[in-house]
Amino acid sequence: MAQIRSKPFGVTKQGANVTEYILSNPGGLTVSVLDYGCIIKNIIVPAKNGPVDVVLGHDTMADYEDDFTSSGSTCCGAFVGRYANRIENATFSVGGKTYQLEANNGPNHLHGCFSRKLYRVKAFGDTLLMEAESPDGEDGFPGNLKLAVRYTLTEDNTFRMDYRVSSDADTIVNLTNHSYFNLAGHDAGSIENQTLVLKAEQFSPVIDSASIPTGEHAPVQGTPMDFTSEKAIGAEIEADFEQLKLTGGYDHNFILDKAVEGSIELMAVASCKESGITMEAFTDLPCVQFYAGNFIAPVTGKNGVFYDKRNGFCLESQYVPNAINQEGEEKPILEAGDTYDTTTVYKFIF
């Protein structure tokens, strides 16, 4: 069973103490988590040539706060919500009412404020339970929410993330984790030679550089969006293809090929030949946003390392972006008194 220890990490600008929790299993896999934003700060894999930290991050609380409050925020490693990805024109209707959200991504709403909350933590066995509240009207959303995030590290090198949310009013919820992976190491530079498989035969084209989907589910076959078989991330990222030009590379929603709706199934496999590390990712959600780090602004990361464009990739399990405003899409509506439960899993093979 994994062991959990803790140590002080820093202090927020508001004077709150932040704690780092370190989960380690008998095989040597280590995951470090902050009670600020439920941030995954480190995932250290005991690879064949020595330990490799496979996620981007920061060394200080000040660096995380500066990152998360900047216009080019990466949300690096954080738990994201109330609504991951974009809501067009920062507005939606539910329960017969229309709500105006904070427009924090041009005219649109993106991700929300859960990455900037401080969570209460209970550590037991191989699991961290982190809890917080989101009051009615936060970011413009209706309903008082109770949040529970559970992180579990198992002996088979699986890191599991379970999210559970309840509300006292009809609302919408779409939660994800925003870790940036580099399977060669957070300090290794470009991820373009690392390979990826996505269990998705369709993707969501976007209207323009604002990345709002058109509503179409387009086939990946015959396009650079096809990752149904193993392919280097950078193999076609600069292709003469309108969708890649609009977003500066891969930053698209992929509709997963689900055998059973709502079941936890494989969504992606990423590998790095140099480190010998493979990561399998599973989810019960219908989609995944594959982002190749096209807009990582030059920033100093862990150990003074300089992070830049395409130095990490994200696999964000989710619903279709802007689904609440799109006809025909599955709606991530949480009705009053109901519970939203979802699971995403990363398994490391080395």
Does residue 153 come out as left (phi exceeding 0), alpha (psi in the -120 to 50 range) or beta?
beta
SS3 of the chain: CCEEEEEEEEECCCCCEEEEEEEECCCCCEEEEECECCCEEEEEEEECCEEEECECCCCCHHHHHHHHCCCCCCCCCCEECCEEEEEHHHEEEECCEEEECCCCECCEEEECCHHHCECEEEEECCEEEEEEEECCCHHHCCCCEEEEEEEEECCCCEEEEEEEEEECCCEECECEECCCECCCCCCCCCCCCCEEEECCCEEECECCCCCCECCCCEECCCCCCCCCCCEECCCCCCCCCHHHHHHCCCEEEEECCCCCCCCCEEEEEEEECCCCEEEEEEECCCEEEEECCCCCCCEECHHHCEECCCCCEEEEEECCCCHHHCCCCCCCEECCCCEEEEEEEEEEEC
* 57 and 42 Cβ atoms separated by less than 8 Å: yes
* Residue 139: C-alpha distances to residues 26, 90, 124, 142 (Å): 42, 10, 32, 9
Q: How far is it between the farthest Cα atoms of the chain?
A: 58
Active site residue 178: yes
Active site residue 186: no
| Residue of 58, 109, 111, 178 with catalytic role | 178
Extract the tokens encoding 279.
């990561």
Residue written as token pair 């900037």: 116
Cα separation, 143 vs 336, in Å, equals: 8
| Residue of 20, 138, 236, 316 with catalytic role | 316
Active site amino acids: 178, 316
